Structure 1
Amino acid sequence: MDGQKKTYYVSIANGEISQSATSSPWNFKIEATDEEITTLREYFDENYTHELGNFVRAHIPYVEYHHDKDNDAYDIGMQKIYSMIYDLGDKQARNHIESMGILNQPPNP
Structure 2
Amino acid sequence: MSGDERKKYYVSVQAGQILRDQGAASYELEVLANDEEFNQLQVMFEDLSSMDEAITGHYNYAVGTLQDLPSDKRMNAGYDAILRDIYLFIHEHGTETTRKHVEAMGILDPGRL
TM interval, shorter chain, is 0.7 to 0.9
CA distance in 1, matches of 2:74, 2:18: 27
Q: 1:68 & 1:49 partners in 2: Cα distance?
A: 17
1:79 and 2:80 aligned? no
Instruction: For 1:64 and 1:51, locate their aligned partners in 2 and report how far apart those are by CA, in whole Å.
Output: 16
TM-score by length of 1: 0.87
Q: 1:89 Cα deviation (Å)?
A: 0.5
Q: Which amino acid aligns with 1:48?
A: S
* 1:63 aligned onto 2:68: yes
Structure 1 contact 65–71 (Cα < 8 Å) conserved: no
Q: CA deviation at 1:57?
A: 2.8
5+ unaligned residues in a row in structure 2: which ranges? none
Amino acid at match of 1:99: A
Q: TM-score with structure 2 length normalisation?
A: 0.84
Q: CA distance change for structure 1 residues 24 and 65 in 2, over 3 Å: closer, same or farther?
A: farther
Secondary structure in 2 aligned to 1:9?
A: strand
Residue 88 of structure 1 aligns with which residue?
93
CA distance in 1, matches of 2:99, 2:69: 33
Deviation at 1:22, TM superposition (A): 0.5
The residue that corresponds to 1:29 in the other structure is 30
% identical equivalent positions = 25
Question: How far apart in 2 are the matches of 1:76 and 1:83?
Answer: 10
- CA deviations on 1:20-79 (whole Å, 9 max, x unpaired) are 111100011111000001000010000111101111233324226984322111100000
Measured in 2, the distance between the counterparts of 1:105 and 1:72 equals 19
